[in-house]
Structure 1
Amino acid sequence: MEEKQRRHFVLVHGACLGAWCWYKLQPLLKAAGHSVKVFDLSASGIDPKSLDELRTFPEYTLPLFKVMESIPPDEKVVLVGHSLGGLNLAFAMEKYPEKISVAVFLAATMPDTIHKPSYVLEEYFARASPEDFLDTKFAPFGRPEDHLTSILWGPKYLASRLYQLSPPEDVALAISLVRPTSFFMQDLSNRSPFSNERFGSVNRAFIITGEDKTIPPEFQRWEIENTGVTIVKEMEDADHMAMISKPHALCQYLLDIAK
């Protein structure tokens, strides 16, 4: 019998969240015989940095760059990005394409190689209405010339948009742990598109969350059409937090993609 190959999964959380959001999925992947790395992005989770210390999206992504730099030259990882984490993935794909076997976008923002990195977020906000964000708080921070805005999901938004199919105790956990972050729109709009040679050379997979009220399935499908991916899977009965509402199903999807 062929020996099962051990994979190395690197899991990247979304906006306002932290490494804590993977607490159900991480042990499932480990139990299947794989190594799993979870971590906090800058000013997220228990990372000691303050959001006021950040100015750019790469500064926010720095902990992911450090993880990628620690990967041995002969090893490749399965990189998984959730929600805004898809843009963190894109920066890592541009910087370390040779270290990634497949990049998995889980209900994530997925840029292309034609437009500026801000384009996918601009499209998202153009299709949303202010009412969609409920009690989410947007506030300026940093120097006025940097045009920085923070975002913090409110309790109502978390319960009815991110976690509507998740256990109530996980909603309570999220409400107590979320931290403000930023999309760094001004910085992303000043950057060149990701390259076909680097970002575009990495195998891409997308997992659609069929009951998503944060990034609607129709927008996820638009991203897939806009950017193109090798593998598309759909979790029909998952909310935006698939790692919380359907961890066992998500684990199986990731194992199938990793093969």
Structure 2
Amino acid sequence: MEGNSRTHMILVHGACHGAWCWFKVAARLRSVGHRVTTLDLAASGVDPRPLREVPTFRDYTKPLLDILESLLPGEKVVLVGHSLGGMNIALASELFPEKVAAAVFLAAFMPDHTFRPSHVIEKLFEGNSADMMDSEMKPQDPEGKLPPSLLFGPQITRQKLYQLCSQEDLTLGASLMRVGSLFLEDLQLQQPYSEDRYGSVRKVYIVCKEDLAIVEEYQRWMIQNNPVQEVKELDGADHMAMLSRPDELAQCLADIAEKYA
């Protein structure tokens, strides 16, 4: 895995997680010369805001949008979104297509440019593959003006998210996860992303073959629904591939960066 300091990768976490979940992959990529940014989305990781101060999905995504807005003219990045983070990099690609060398979806929700962004989340919950088990999903306010909160329970964390991770990584995840949201109601109000902006960004999908949260069948449905430039696979990777298969994922991202950036 050879590094290229001109390649800038931004790694975006999923719901209830933070920049911390990328520590293994970021260290591996940086050790060979890649430039890597891991960030906390609003009300995530060490970001001090509580969820109630983040009323919309765009507010939640703002830390990523701020980074893209600050890039120098002509500078491009490789965006990597995990799980719900796929929705964040899709919004970023819609707003800043000229700054995205490639959008990489890691076992992630990947919207198309035909339906509203919420469509790919709704479809998962329509089937039986989205058993949330002991997760807590509840309203934040009596009026329903704020997005419902989400917190993964210990059973789903152990059995569907981290089932192939070490006991140490499971303990780390369980101790650092925060209350988050899917922002589904807000995403239902948004117009579909455009073909000439979001649709013009080159996309790669990384299928995690042992994912029990967003199962392989559903990952492949999203690829069929919104064809990408390239599909890669990670064998033996659960939903938290950055923890269960960090070497393989780091190599995969390095290969993508070399090809598209």
Count how many residue pairs are aligned between Structure 1 and Structure 2. 256
Structure 1 contact 6–33 (Cα < 8 Å) conserved: no
CA distance in 2, matches of 1:36, 1:148: 31
Distance 1:117 1:144 in 2: 24
1:177 aligns to what?
176
Residue 67 of structure 1 corresponds to 67
| Structure 2 CA distance for aligned equivalents of residues 69 and 14 of structure 1 | 21
With structure 1 as the length reference, what TM-score do the two structures score? 0.96
Give a deviation string over 1:61-87, Cα, whole Å, max 9, x none: 011111111221121101000000000
Partner of 1:89: 89
Q: How does 1:1-259 map to 2 (within 5 A)?
A: 6-128=6-128, 132-142=131-141, 144-146=143-145, 148-258=147-257, 259=259
The amino acid that maps onto 1:198 is R
The 10-residue stretch of structure 1 (140-149 or 69-78) with the greater mean CA deviation from structure 2? 140-149
Gaps of 5+ in 2: none
Give 1:128 shift.
Answer: 3.0
* Letter in structure 2 aligned against 1:230: Q
CA distance in 2, matches of 1:32, 1:52: 40
SS in 2 for 1:24: helix
Q: Which moved more, 1:92-101 or 1:5-14?
A: 5-14
Normalised to the residue count of structure 2, the TM-score between the two structures is 0.95
How many angstroms apart in 2 are the aligned matches of 1:171 and 1:189?
33
Q: Give 1:169's aligned amino acid.
A: E
CA distance in 1, matches of 2:22, 2:228: 24
Q: SS in structure 1 opposite 2:104?
A: strand
CA contact (8 A) 1:206 1:224 kept: yes
Bigger Cα displacement from structure 2, 69-78 vs 226-235: 69-78
TM superposition shift of 1:42? 0.5
2: CA distance, partners of 1:73 / 1:155: 45
In structure 1, the gaps of 5 or more residues are: none
Counterpart-to-counterpart distance in 1, 2:145 and 2:123: 22
CA distance in 2, matches of 1:139, 1:145: 10
Deviation for aligned residue 1:148: 2.5
Per-residue CA shift, 1:209-237, capped at 9, x if unaligned? 00000100000000000011001001121
Shift, 1:145, TM fit: 4.1
RMSD: 1.4
CA deviations on 1:159-214 (whole Å, 9 max, x unpaired) are: 11111001111100111111111111111111100000110010000000000001
Mapped contact 1:162–1:239 kept (Cα < 8 A): yes
| SS, match of residue 234 in structure 1 | strand
Contact 2:129 2:215 in 1 (8 A): no
